[in-house]
Copies of this chain bind each other. A is one copy, B any other.
Amino acid sequence: MHQEQRQRAHAHFKSRGIERALLANPYTVKWLTGFAPPVQVGFNFFAGGPPLVWYEDGHFTLLVVDAYATDTAAFDEQVDGAVITHLGYTIEQPLAGTDHLTAALRQVTGKSTGGKVGVEEREVPAYFLAVAHKMLPGGADFVPVDGWLEPLRMIKTGEELVKLRENFALADIGQAAARRAVAAGKREIDVWTEIHSAIQQAAGRRVPLGNDCVVGYRQNNIGGWPLDYEIRPHDSLIVDLSTILHGYWSDGCATYYAGEPTPQQVAMHRTVQEALEFGMSLVRPGAVAREIDQKLRQFIAAAGYPVYPHHSGHGIGVIGHEAPRIVPYNEERLQEGMVIMLEPGIYLPGETSVRLEDALLVTADGAEVLTKHDKSLP
């Protein structure tokens, strides 16, 4: 699992003279190993430290608490990766996850040849870096490598596309449930529970769910978690959903109405639909992120509406927002194999709002739409 990611990382480190590294960024760990701990109620209590990856001589070793042993089995079978699980929960002695993780770290660093060592120093806790420093022969020459692997994540592998497609299909199921659920008299949270139930029943398991479920009459009607605001006749409801299955994110947004939308809402909705279609027509290899952003904003402004204050879109993968960002300053060019979201919107604070969002896989000559949810007016 995720061998191609490790090959890319190895080549990148090698080209920059890094032959060993201590990695702890959770997105790095997920991308390199495929290991995706559950996030619904936070990380395992008993771990004593974050999952760490030790890289040396082209091999990657994942150090992780035993509670997650089964989740790492697929990675362990790969020739260029290994897993060391350490004791977490026990009733026989005081909890000492940190000591056990430290022992695992000593095991890998104690065999190291030492020298220059890349470190994700923005993530590795100071304590574990000190342990590595003590164990590495002749001390260690630490080199910060935070962010180094992020650009490598932009082009999705075949394996990642399978995971992403599965997530987008789940989000589509959630959007269909939302369309059925929205009605005057229900609250945002009521619609949300119907969405989440439909997704989890389809997946046959728990699936974390973000992002927004907000009625148009909220003052901040761009986004927010579902609360107990009641949906009234003709209210708009923005439903922006991200599922996280196998550690990969989906995303997608639609806007629904309680009964008939007003003429103003119809006009706004059509404008956003046209903007999204226009934006999608711009997506192809070589397109500049900044230019797509600018053209989308101009489209909304030309229709006489206030321009949305957020990004026009973003990449997606092991995290909900990845490179490339579709924002005013970004000169990056799209490349085949990227997966990006586009999400124009119009917001009249305290009145009504609309946002529509699709996911696009950049192909050799354009784009494939990965989200299939219905974004039409009722």
A148 to B: closest C-beta gap in Å: 14
Partner of A93, one of B123, B127, B200, B329: B329
Chain B residues with CB below 8 A from A122, complex form: 48-49, 98, 125-128
B144–A225 touching, CB < 8 Å:
no
B124–A125 touching, CB < 8 Å:
yes
* Interface assignment of A193: CB less than 8 Å from any CB of chain B: yes
Chain B residues with CB below 8 A from A129, complex form: 126
A189–B208 touching, CB < 8 Å:
no
A227–B242 touching, CB < 8 Å:
no
* Interface assignment of A320: CB less than 8 Å from any CB of chain B: yes
B227–A204 touching, CB < 8 Å:
yes
A146 CA to B197 CA, complexed, in Å: 40
A310 CA to B46 CA, complexed, in Å: 14
Give the nearest-CB partner of A211 in chain B: B41
Chain B residues with CB below 8 A from A211, complex form: 41
Q: Count A-side interface residues using an 8 Å CB cutoff.
A: 63
A227 to B: closest C-beta gap in Å: 5
A206 CA to B123 CA, complexed, in Å: 28
A237 to B: closest C-beta gap in Å: 16
Partner of A200, one of B119, B126, B193: B193
* Interface assignment of A196: CB less than 8 Å from any CB of chain B: yes
A42–B41 touching, CB < 8 Å:
no
A45–B206 touching, CB < 8 Å:
no
A244 CA to B45 CA, complexed, in Å: 14
Q: Which of A190-228 contact B (CB under 8 A)?
A: 190, 192-194, 196-197, 200-201, 203-206, 208-211, 225-228
Q: Which of A280-337 contact B (CB under 8 A)?
A: 309-311, 319-321, 325, 327-329
Known: A45-B319, A189-B200. A210 touches B126 (CB 8 A): no
Known: A91-B327, A189-B204, A197-B193. A39 touches B39 (CB 8 A): yes
Interface centre among A38, A42, A119, A124 (most CB of B within 10 A): A42
A124 CA to B321 CA, complexed, in Å: 24
* Interface assignment of A365: CB less than 8 Å from any CB of chain B: no
Known: A45-B321, A123-B125, A329-B92. A192 touches B187 (CB 8 A): no
A156 to B: closest C-beta gap in Å: 18
Give the nearest-CB partner of A194 in chain B: B197
A91–B328 touching, CB < 8 Å:
yes
Chain B residues with CB below 8 A from A206, complex form: 189, 192, 225-226
A95 CA to B206 CA, complexed, in Å: 31
Chain B residues with CB below 8 A from A309, complex form: 91
* Interface assignment of A138: CB less than 8 Å from any CB of chain B: no
Chain B residues with CB below 8 A from A201, complex form: 187, 189-190, 193
Q: Which of A28-78 contact B (CB under 8 A)?
A: 38-42, 45-46, 48-49
Give the nearest-CB partner of A37 in chain B: B42
Known: A92-B328, A119-B126, A328-B92. A41 touches B208 (CB 8 A): yes
Would you list the 10 A-B pairs with minimal beta carbon distance, nearest first?
A204-B228, A193-B197, A126-B129, A121-B127, A41-B210, A91-B327, A121-B126, A122-B127, A126-B126, A39-B42
Interface residue ranges, A against B (CB under 8 Å): 26, 38-42, 45-46, 48-49, 91-95, 98, 119, 121-130, 144, 146, 187, 189-190, 192-194, 196-197, 200-201, 203-206, 208-211, 225-228, 242, 244, 309-311, 319-321, 325, 327-329
